[in-house]
Amino acid sequence: MSLYHHKIMRNSVYLIMALLLASLLTVIPLPLYMKALKPLWLPMVLLLWVIYFPGYIGVGIAWLVGLWADILLGTLLGEQGIAFALACYVAIVFQRRLSMLSLFQQAVIVLLLLEMILLVLFWIQYWIGFPPVTLNFWLSGLSTIFIWLILSRSIQKKVAISKILDR
């Protein structure tokens, strides 16, 4: 097996491990006072991979991960799948531009993508007759972005080091 194929296999294993960890963190219960700030773990991992490791996550994978999130959370099947696929589609289309932005600029765009996911979920829940949500519904995007900043910074350092070592 060539070095290129070995790297793809290794990164695929890392992706699966990251999604499993995000799944676990998604279902861990939080105290009631922190429930509104529960991070959006799965979409955050998807967006990290779309931006920093292009080619591993596509719209289909995002949709499947969204279906998995629907199963984990007991929501309407397809609800999160649509939201994740849409957000990842936008991120994939603008991936090159996103990768050239500063960390703060990326964070603003990722926050908008996370809030877009929440908006899609809000629309779907509204259409199927769930009562309107409160302002707390939108706060999970803010808590997610702080975690995203920390993870993104460490990934940027790792990617820079690996590019130097590959030369």
| Domain range summary for the chain, segments of one domain joined by + | 3-166
Q: What value does the mean pLDDT of the chain take?
A: 91
Check residue 148 and give its pLDDT.
95
- What does the alpha-carbon distance between residue 47 and residue 116 come to, in Å, rounded to a whole number? 13
**Sign of CA pseudo-dihedral 57, 59, 62, 64:** negative
Helix (H) or strand (E) holding 39: none
Share of the chain above pLDDT 70, in %: 95
For residues 64-74, one letter each, b for 16 or more C-beta atoms within 10 angstroms of the residue's C-beta and e for the rest, the string is ebbbbbbeeee
Is the confidence at residue 58, as pLDDT, over 80?
yes
Check residue 103 and give its pLDDT.
93
Check residue 1 and give its pLDDT.
60
* pLDDT band (50, 70, 90) for residue 10: confident
Segment of 1-5, 72-76, 156-160 carrying the highest mean pLDDT: 72-76
Q: What is the dihedral of CA 5, 68, 126, 46, to 10 degrees?
A: -30
DSSP alpha helix (H) spans, the chain: 3-27, 41-52, 59-73, 79-93, 95-100, 103-127, 139-166
- What does the alpha-carbon distance between residue 91 and residue 116 come to, in Å, rounded to a whole number? 12
